[in-house]
Amino acid sequence: MKGVLYVISGPSGVGKTSIIEATLKRVKNLVFSVSCTTRPRRPSETEGKDYFFVDFDHFKKMIQNDEFLEWAIVHNHYYGTPKKFVEDQLDQGKNVLLDIDVQGAMTVMKKAKEAVYIFIAPPSFDVLKQRLINRGTETKENLERRLDDAKKELSYIPVFEYIIVNANLQESVDQLCSIIVAEQLKVKRVIDRLGVHRFFENGGETNEQTGR
Ligand code: 5GP
């Protein structure tokens, strides 16, 4: 009984963290995968909740020990998804949400075709720029880098299955919750989870018409 893996990407400043936090409060049986990063911690962030903040040597050892499902260099820092946590949770039937950049999403796509890929986009590039400036977490140089990277990230939109245009936080949260729930109601997933016998009188014999 495996859970569903949801991969969320989108440019820095688009509002992923707020959407994800609200969604985690609303959807049952959904857990967030906390990444490792070499980026310095922001004052608002908590170790183990937002990220595991590690130094480069530690990160390098984790790469060597094959401890990441994926990792990438994003805005000049290393970020990676610890593999064991994700696998354990999925094996226990929990649904897992990743917030990773498009490079990471491409790596996961090669390994987990059955995962659900969701892109969060800004209403426009100008809105994104203004949000990043208002957030006030970046130096001028970092801001320029994040905006350059955002242009590249937006070019990957066609590779994703779903897109949420984040013009309004509440609507975006509703949309993400809808995607998550709808994916769990796909016939294949329900039958994998509950067993086909649940729905048929013949107790799980193959259905003659569908062959399933
Ligand atoms: P921030 O530094 O603003 O928290 O995150 C910068 C970017 O790194 C975001 O786009 C975020 O999705 C991405 N990111 C966070 N964790 C991971 C990870 O484990 N792997 C990859 N590839 N990207 C990540």
At 58 the pLDDT is: 98
Sign of CA dihedral 96, 102, 107, 109: positive
Q: Tell me the mean pLDDT per 10 residues along the chain, length 212.
A: 93 94 97 98 95 98 98 96 98 97 97 96 95 88 92 96 97 98 94 85 59 56
Residue 102 DSSP one-character state: H
pTM: 0.92
Fold designation for 5-36+93-210? Rossmann fold (3.40.50)
Q: Does residue 97 contact residue 183 with C-beta atoms inside 8 Å?
A: no
At 100 the pLDDT is: 98
How far is ligand 1, taken at its centre, from the CA of residue 207, in Å? 45
How far is ligand 1, taken at its centre, from the CA of residue 101, in Å? 5
Alpha helices in the chain (DSSP H): 16-26, 56-64, 83-91, 102-111, 125-135, 140-154, 169-184, 187-194
